[in-house]
Amino acid sequence: MKLKDRGQQEIVGFVLIVVVVMVALMVFLIISVRDSGEDVDSVGVANMLDVLIKTTSDCAVVAEPKYDSFEDLFKSCYDDESCSNLERSACEYLNESLGVVVSSMVKSEAMIGAWEVDFSVRDGKGILKWDEGNCTGSFSGASRTIVSGGRSLVVRMRACYI
């Protein structure tokens, strides 16, 4: 009788170990799947970001008609410069205009339900952030590095595909 009880206890112990190992494996799998999705650049979002940073803005830092592209505008914002033709800082103009441009782009793409753009110094603090919509699908992202005065600035875009 005692031998039978011990056998049952061992079976229960074995099942418990199997359950614990399975749970640990699943947690590991979920974490690894999530991580791999964020690291790879999405071609669609990278295309959006490339077109966005090439777009000419209405801000001329030096003098008209030398208007900054959004790439130059990110640098001007980091360097705390001002738009000479608009009498406002480059960061203020960037903060107002970038959201409008991305919003217009996203309106033409039915598959994108929400988006986020981050502008930050690499390994440093965030400078500006824009977002719109609520994500009900999965996020895809891409980033571009802009070099200004020896510092690397990072523009990261994430789009939520429905």
Partner 1 sequence: MVRERGQMKIMQMLFMIVGVFFFFVLAGLFFLGIMFKDVRGGADELAREQAISSLEILAAMPELSYGDREAMSLDEDKLRVMVEGYGASYGNFWPIASLEVYKIYPAFDSVVPCPAANCNYYNIYTDPRYENLQVGDSGQGNIEKVSSYVSICKRIRELGSVYDRCEVGKIVVGMEEISEVGE
Q: Which two tokens stand for residue 48?
A: 């959006």
How big is the site for partner 1, counted in residues (CB under 8 A)? Answer: 33
Site string for partner 1, 85-114 (x = CB under 8 A): ---------------xx--xx-xx------
Q: Any contact of residue 136 with partner 1 (CB under 8 A)?
A: no
Q: Any contact of residue 50 with partner 1 (CB under 8 A)?
A: yes
Sign of CA dihedral 100, 104, 109, 111: positive
Using omega within 30 degrees of 0 as the cis cutoff, is the peptide bond preceding 65 cis? yes
Q: What is the DSSP string of 61-87?
A: SSSTT-PPBHHHHHHHHHTT-EETTTT
Nearer to partner 1, 47 or 136 (CB): 47
Q: How far apart are CA 87 and CA 59, in angstroms?
A: 9
Question: Which position among 66, 88, 122, 129 is part of the footprint of partner 1 (CB under 8 A)?
Answer: 66
Q: Any contact of residue 161 with partner 1 (CB under 8 A)?
A: yes
Q: Which two tokens stand for residue 122?
A: 């690499």
Site string for partner 1, 23-42 (x = CB under 8 A): ---x--xx--x---x----x
Nearer to partner 1, 106 or 120 (CB): 106
Q: Which residues pair with 119 in a beta bridge?
A: 128, 155
Q: Any contact of residue 159 with partner 1 (CB under 8 A)?
A: no
Nearest residue to 99 (alpha-carbon basis) of 82, 112, 116, 86: 116
Binding site for partner 1 (CB under 8 A): 15, 19, 22, 26, 29-30, 33, 37, 42-44, 47-48, 50-52, 54-56, 64-67, 69, 100-101, 104-105, 107-108, 138, 140, 161
